[in-house]
Structure 1
Amino acid sequence: MSESDKNQRFILECNQEIDALGQDHELRSDALALAIRAAKYKYVYHFSWMGRPIIQYPQDMIAMQELIWSVKPDLIIETGIAHGGSLIMNASLLALLDLCDAQEQGRALDPQKPVRKVLGIDIDIRSHNREAIETHPMASRIQMLQGSSVDPEIVAQVQEISGRHKRILVSLDSNHTHDHVLAELEAYAPLVSKGSYCVVFDTAVEEMPPELCVDRPWGPGNSPMTAVREYLKSHTEFAVDRRIEDKLLITVAREGFLQRVA
Structure 2
Amino acid sequence: MTPFDEEVAARVRANAQDKQLVGAARAFMEASTLPKYCYNFSSLGRPIIQYPQDMVAMQELIWTIRPDLVIEAGIAHGGSLVMSASVLALIDYADAVDQGTTLNPMTSSRKVLGIDVDIRDHNKDAILAHPLAHKIDMIEGSSIDPTVVDKVRTIAKGYERVMVILDSNHTHDHVLEELRAYAPLTSKGSYCVVFDTIIEDVPDSMYPDRPWSKGNNPKTAVWQYLKELQASPQMGQDGQPLSLEIDKSIQDRLLITVAADGYLRRR
Q: After superposition, what is the alpha-carbon deviation per residue over 1:93-124, rounded to whole angstroms, capped at 9, x for unaligned?
A: 00000111111112111122222100000000
Which amino acid is 2:125 matched to? E
Name the CA distance, whole Å, in 2 between partners of 1:103 and 1:30: 43
Q: C-alpha displacement at 1:253, in angstroms?
A: 0.2
Match of 1:198 among 192, 196, 212: 192
Tell me whether 1:119 sits opposite 2:125 in the alignment: no
Which amino acid is 2:73 matched to? T
Quick check: 118-127 or 18-27, which moved more?
18-27
Q: C-alpha displacement at 1:18, in angstroms?
A: 0.6
Quick check: 105-114 or 160-169, which moved more?
105-114
Q: C-alpha displacement at 1:41, in angstroms?
A: 1.4
Structure 1 portions without partners, runs of 5+: 1-6
Tell me whether 1:23 sits opposite 2:17 in the alignment: yes
SS in 2 for 1:78: strand
SS in 2 for 1:234: helix
When the two structures are superposed, what TM-score results if normalisation uses the length of structure 1? 0.95
Tell me whether 1:138 sits opposite 2:132 in the alignment: yes
Match of 2:204 among 196, 204, 210: 210
When the two structures are superposed, what TM-score results if normalisation uses the length of structure 2? 0.94
SS in 2 for 1:155: helix
Tell me whether 1:256 sits opposite 2:262 in the alignment: yes
Tell me whether 1:222 sits opposite 2:216 in the alignment: yes
Which amino acid is 1:200 matched to? V
Aligned counterparts, 1:142-181, within 5 A = 142-181=136-175
Which amino acid is 2:194 matched to? V
Q: C-alpha displacement at 1:208, in angstroms?
A: 1.3
Q: After superposition, what is the alpha-carbon deviation per residue over 1:113-168, rounded to whole angstroms, capped at 9, x for unaligned?
A: 22210000000000000000001000000000000000000000000000000000
Which amino acid is 1:238 matched to? L
Name the CA distance, whole Å, in 1 between partners of 2:163 and 2:181: 13
Which residue does 2:236 correspond to in 1? Answer: none
Q: After superposition, what is the alpha-carbon deviation per residue over 1:41-99, rounded to whole angstroms, capped at 9, x for unaligned?
A: 11000000111000100000000011111110000000000000000000000000011
Name the CA distance, whole Å, in 2 between partners of 1:75 and 1:163: 10
Which residue does 1:128 correspond to in 2? Answer: 122
Q: After superposition, what is the alpha-carbon deviation per residue over 1:160-182, rounded to whole angstroms, capped at 9, x for unaligned?
A: 00000000000000000000000
Whether the 8 Å CA contact 1:80–1:121 is kept in 2: the answer is yes
Name the CA distance, whole Å, in 2 between partners of 1:91 and 1:224: 25
Q: C-alpha displacement at 1:25, in angstroms?
A: 3.2
RMSD of the alignment, in Å? 1.0
How many residue pairs match? The answer is 255
Q: C-alpha displacement at 1:205, in angstroms?
A: 0.6
Tell me whether 1:239 sits opposite 2:245 in the alignment: yes
Identity level (%): 56
SS in 1 for 2:21: helix
Name the CA distance, whole Å, in 1 between partners of 2:44 and 2:15: 32
Aligned counterparts, 1:31-180, within 5 A = 31-180=25-174
Structure 2 portions without partners, runs of 5+: 231-242
Name the CA distance, whole Å, in 2 between partners of 1:238 and 1:189: 9
Name the CA distance, whole Å, in 2 between partners of 1:77 and 1:125: 16
Whether the 8 Å CA contact 1:123–1:148 is kept in 2: the answer is yes
